[in-house]
Structure 1
Amino acid sequence: MPAFEYEALDARGRKSKGLITADSEYAARRELRSREMAPLALRSAEGRKMSAQADDGASLMERLRAQDLSGRELMLVTRQMSSLIGAGMPIAETLGLLAEQGGRHHMKRVLSAVRARVSEGERLSDAMKAYPRSFPAVYRAMVAAGEQAGGLEAVLARLADYLEKEEAVKNRITGALVYPVVLSVVALGVVMLLMTFVVPKIADQFTGMGMALPLLTRIMISLSAGLLASWPFLLAGGAALVIGAMLALRQASVRTGFDGVMMRLPLLGGFLRQVEAARFARTMGILIEAGSVLPDALQAAARATGNLAFRQTVEKVKADVETGRGLSDALQASRVFPALMLFMVAAGERSGALGEMFRRSADQLEQDIDGAVSVGLNLLEPGIILVLGGVVVVIVLSILLPILQLNTLALG
Structure 2
Amino acid sequence: MERFHYFAATAANATHDGTIEAESMQDALGMLRSRGLVVIRIGKPSRLSALWAMLNRDVVLRSPLRFQELARLSQEWGGLVEAGIPIEESLALLGRASAPSTRRILLAVRDDVKAGMPLHEALGRFPGSFPPVYRALVQAGEAAGNLGSAIRRLGDDLMARRALKDDIRNALLYPLFLLVTASAGILVLMLVVVPNLETLLGEGGEERLSTVTRIVLEASRILRNHGVALLGATAVLAVSAALFLLSPKGHVRLDAVILRMPVFGPLARDIETGRFARTLGALLRGGVTLSVAMLIVLRAVANRHMRTALEEAHRSIVSGAAIGDAIAASRIFREDAIGLIRVGERTGDLAAALERTAALHEARATRQLKALGAMLTPLMTIGFGAIAGVIIYAMLSTILGINELAGR
TM-score, normalized by length of structure 2? 0.80
- 1:244-285 deviations in whole A, cap 9, x for unaligned? 344444333322222222222221011101100001110111
1:33 matched to which residue of 2? none
Asked if residue 204 in structure 1 is aligned to residue 228 in structure 2, the reply is: no
More off after superposition, 177-186 vs 226-235:
177-186
- 1:283-304 deviations in whole A, cap 9, x for unaligned? 1111112222111111111112
One of 270, 295, 311 as aligned partner of 2:266: 270
Query: Any conservation in 1 of the 2:171–2:370 contact (CA below 8 Å)?
Result: no
1:255 matched to which residue of 2? 251
Asked if residue 67 in structure 1 is aligned to residue 67 in structure 2, the reply is: no
In 1: Cα distance, 2:346 partner to 2:172 partner: 43
Identity of aligned residues (%): 33
Q: Secondary structure at the match of 1:134?
A: coil
Asked if residue 282 in structure 1 is aligned to residue 278 in structure 2, the reply is: yes
Query: Any conservation in 2 of the 1:137–1:304 contact (CA below 8 Å)?
Result: no
Q: Secondary structure at the match of 1:285?
A: helix
1:167 matched to which residue of 2? 162
Query: Any conservation in 2 of the 1:348–1:354 contact (CA below 8 Å)?
Result: yes
Query: Any conservation in 1 of the 2:76–2:152 contact (CA below 8 Å)?
Result: no
Query: Any conservation in 1 of the 2:197–2:399 contact (CA below 8 Å)?
Result: no
1:144 matched to which residue of 2? 139
Pairwise CA distance, 1:334: 0.9
One of 152, 160, 168 as aligned partner of 1:157: 152
Structure 1 residues 388 and 229: CA distance shift in structure 2, 3 A: same
- 1:351-397 deviations in whole A, cap 9, x for unaligned? 11111111111111111111112212222222221111111011111
Asked if residue 194 in structure 1 is aligned to residue 189 in structure 2, the reply is: yes
One-letter code of the match for 2:285? E
Asked if residue 228 in structure 1 is aligned to residue 221 in structure 2, the reply is: no
Asked if residue 121 in structure 1 is aligned to residue 116 in structure 2, the reply is: yes
Q: Secondary structure at the match of 1:304?
A: coil
Query: Any conservation in 1 of the 2:167–2:369 contact (CA below 8 Å)?
Result: no
In 1: Cα distance, 2:352 partner to 2:170 partner: 32
1:8 matched to which residue of 2? none
Pairwise CA distance, 1:100: 2.3
Structure 1 residues 238 and 65: CA distance shift in structure 2, 3 A: farther
- 1:62-101 deviations in whole A, cap 9, x for unaligned? 9574421111111111111110011011112211221222
Pairwise CA distance, 1:216: 0.8
| Number of aligned residues | 351
**RMSD across aligned positions (CA):** 2.4
Structure 1 residues 101 and 410: CA distance shift in structure 2, 3 A: closer
Query: Any conservation in 2 of the 1:95–1:115 contact (CA below 8 Å)?
Result: yes
Asked if residue 393 in structure 1 is aligned to residue 389 in structure 2, the reply is: yes
1:84 matched to which residue of 2? 80
1:31 matched to which residue of 2? none
Query: Any conservation in 2 of the 1:285–1:356 contact (CA below 8 Å)?
Result: yes
One-letter code of the match for 1:170? K
One-letter code of the match for 2:133? V
Q: Secondary structure at the match of 2:299?
A: helix
One-letter code of the match for 1:373? L
Q: Secondary structure at the match of 2:208?
A: coil
One of 305, 308, 311 as aligned partner of 1:309: 305
One-letter code of the match for 1:126? E
In 1: Cα distance, 2:136 partner to 2:60 partner: 30
* Correspondences of 1:359-370 after superposition (within 5 Å): 359-370=355-366
TM-score, normalized by length of structure 1? 0.79
In 1: Cα distance, 2:216 partner to 2:247 partner: 41
In 2: Cα distance, 1:125 partner to 1:64 partner: 22
1:350 matched to which residue of 2? 346
Pairwise CA distance, 1:223: 0.9
Structure 1 residues 241 and 109: CA distance shift in structure 2, 3 A: farther
1:4 matched to which residue of 2? none
Structure 1 residues 377 and 66: CA distance shift in structure 2, 3 A: farther
More off after superposition, 146-155 vs 358-367:
146-155
One of 362, 379, 383 as aligned partner of 1:383: 379
Pairwise CA distance, 1:150: 2.4
In 1: Cα distance, 2:307 partner to 2:125 partner: 24
Pairwise CA distance, 1:209: 5.8
Asked if residue 340 in structure 1 is aligned to residue 347 in structure 2, the reply is: no
* Correspondences of 1:24-35 after superposition (within 5 Å): none
Higher relative contact order (CA 8 A, sep 6+): 2
1:325 matched to which residue of 2? 321
